[in-house]
Amino acid sequence: MMDSYNTTTGISEVQHDISYVRYVLVSVFFLPCAIVIFVGNTFVLLAYKRDKRIRRNTTNAYILNLAVADLLVSVVMAIHFPLYLTGKWEFGGASCIIFMVLDYTVTDMSVMTIIAISVDRYLMVHNSLRHLSRQSHKRVAIICSILWIICLATQSTLAFTYSSRTGFVHDENRIATCDIGYGKNLGVIIMMFLVEFLVPAICVFALNLKVYYRLKRRTDMLQTRQGRDHLVSYAAPLDDRASQTTFSENNYMRIHGSASGSQHQKAARFLALLLIVFTICWLPYYINDCYTYFHLSGARNEALTHLVVFILWMNSAINPFLYAFTNVFFKENFKQFLRCK
């Protein structure tokens, strides 16, 4: 009886320690992150609504869509709050499946929007006039709607089919932890790694690289033209009006071309930052998935799993600050919201 009592007391102490750690982690990391995601992306939405200068650029409509997806991440975190705090899911199997669909859909949509922004910037640099003539807010809205439908349909099909085939809806233990079991299937791990991380990262990197080389070549050509124009203007007679007219036109192109190039370079830096943050936030999640499958035979370390998921969600908290640091109009609006001069 004494041994049994000591064992029970030990288990209770361990559970108490786990609960204490959960409370600390939720209070120090989880809640502040959710609040930052909600406030930061709400600022983006408000800035887009109130500032015509932001709405004038159709690329910012993609940023609006990214902010919506990131804002929904905070909703997912709010739904996830009881599970993080107690380690138990109290809302049933069907609700768990719907919640997982929402979770994966909004994170996938965030990734797809980053790709769409990269493609838009590449097309702008490749052929600005053609892209501007074809691009519109309506076109962007249609593209974003199609991406939402694809992500939602894909994740719904995967979640409901997989949970049905693995008997999730009849397994009370898995329902109690809202564990559909994606991490225990190698095919699902590989597919998600390719679709959600590797292919998007390669696409964004390749597009940014093309944008960089095009901008570099354009800058080199502009510098060569400036040198040639300087020599022509120096050698031309003062009364040669044709030469002066040509020089004025080239000077106009130099000024406006350099301004456009500067804008493209800022956009390229913004996309590079998006890619770096995306890689840092998403890579630990898939490293943990692969390690769990190959070395732990699917037996997850819950604390580590929660940590890498939290790091993944941090991507949605960082994105709004990238807008503030790389876009002067967003920065002005953010300062007004925070009442900073």
User: According to the model, what pLDDT value does residue 210 have?
Assistant: 84
**How does pLDDT run across 198-221, given as a tens digit for each residue?**
898 898 888 888 887 887 777 767
User: According to the model, what pLDDT value does residue 62 have?
Assistant: 92
User: According to the model, what pLDDT value does residue 228 have?
Assistant: 60
What mean pLDDT do residues 34-58 have? Answer: 92
- Flag whether 16 is in a domain: no
Place of tokens 């035979």: 297
What mean pLDDT do residues 320-340 have? Answer: 81
What's the whole-number average pLDDT of the chain?
Answer: 78
The token duo for 88 is 């138990």
The residues, any chain, with a CB within 8 Å of residue 41's CB and separated by 6 or more, are 67, 68, 70, 71, 74, 316, 319, 320
The residues, any chain, with a CB within 8 Å of residue 47's CB and separated by 6 or more, are 54, 329, 330, 333, 334, 337
**How does pLDDT run across 230-239, given as a tens digit for each residue?**
555 544 444 4
Q: How many domains does the chain have?
A: 1
Domain of residue 304, residue span:
21-208+260-338
For residue 195, give the CATH number of its domain: 1.20.1070.10
- Flag whether 223 is in a domain: no
- Flag whether 291 is in a domain: yes
User: According to the model, what pLDDT value does residue 19 have?
Assistant: 64
In terms of residues, how long is the chain? 341
Q: Which residue has the higher pLDDT, 112 or 273?
A: 112
- Flag whether 152 is in a domain: yes
pTM over 0.85: no
Local confidence band at 153 (pLDDT 50, 70, 90 cut-offs): very high
Q: Which residue has the higher pLDDT, 133 or 333?
A: 333
Buried-state track 26-51, b at ≥16 Cβ within 10 A, e below 16:
beebbeebbebbbebbebbeebbeeb
DSSP state, residue 197: I
- Flag whether 230 is in a domain: no
Kindly tell me if the per-residue pLDDT of 64 is higher than 90. yes
The token duo for 284 is 């630990």
Local confidence band at 73 (pLDDT 50, 70, 90 cut-offs): very high
Distance CA 334, CA 195 (A): 33
- Flag whether 194 is in a domain: yes
Q: Taking every pair of C-alpha atoms in the chain, what is the biggest distance, in angstroms?
A: 113
- Flag whether 197 is in a domain: yes
Per-residue CA distances from 132 to 78, 118, 136, 210, 328 (Å): 40, 15, 8, 19, 21
- Flag whether 310 is in a domain: yes
